[in-house]
Structure 1
């Protein structure tokens, strides 16, 4: 199943659940797009696709400057995986095609 399209995801964080939207496009093994949350939007980088496995990073500034590193799997119209938050560890995320 293609990862291309728009997604709504929920990230479980130490500060509670945070919602975000993704606009993703794959070309070969490369994943590009943007991620938006709480009025802020950023381009994803270092995005990869390998079958149903996806990975990408995004820099955020709120609530503090961080690089989030996502790894997950696409299963039909669902996506789920882990979000690495540097020194704070990893937290789950899940979502559906918008």
Structure 2
């Protein structure tokens, strides 16, 4: 599955780059996910994979309370796209899928 796995994300915002981790997996045939960053673990909603385009929504409280909408395109083990918070300008998103390292289980 092109989207499943753990992704290290960088979101380039007007206040600087924010590092986050997004994890995607299937539950009962439905793609679901969780984001980790800024000391928060946030469930993802409206996760949709259409070909190589992945979209999702999430609410965060740090550094600000925002509802974010992500739209990225997956190309192998990398992704690129944008994140938008309401009327604020879109922020560039890039990411790399973590690969399993022999003997580490990660």
Global fold match (TM > 0.5) = yes
Q: Which runs of 4+ in 1 moved over 2 A?
A: none
Q: Which has the larger radius of gyration?
A: 2
Q: 1:10 to 1:22 in 2, by over 3 A?
A: same
> Does structure 2 retain, via aligned residues, the 8 Å contact 1:26–1:49?
no
**TM value normalised by structure 1:** 0.92
**TM value normalised by structure 2:** 0.85
> Does structure 2 retain, via aligned residues, the 8 Å contact 1:30–1:49?
no
- Residue 37 of structure 1 corresponds to 37
Q: Considering fraction of residues, name the structure with more strand.
A: 1
List per-residue Cα deviations over 1:60-85 (Å, max 9, x = no partner): 00122111100011100001101011
> Does structure 1 retain, via aligned residues, the 8 Å contact 2:38–2:63?
no
Runs of 5+ consecutive residues of structure 1 not aligned to the other structure? none
Structure 2 residue 83 is matched with structure 1 residue 74: no
- Residue 65 of structure 2 corresponds to 65
- Residue 20 of structure 1 corresponds to 20
Provide the secondary structure at the position in 1 that maps to 2:87. Answer: helix
Task: Give the whole-Å Cα distance in 1 for the aligned partners of 2:67 and 2:58.
Answer: 6
Cα RMSD (Å): 1.8
Query: How many pairs were matched up?
Result: 98
Task: Give the whole-Å Cα distance in 1 for the aligned partners of 2:52 and 2:67.
Answer: 23
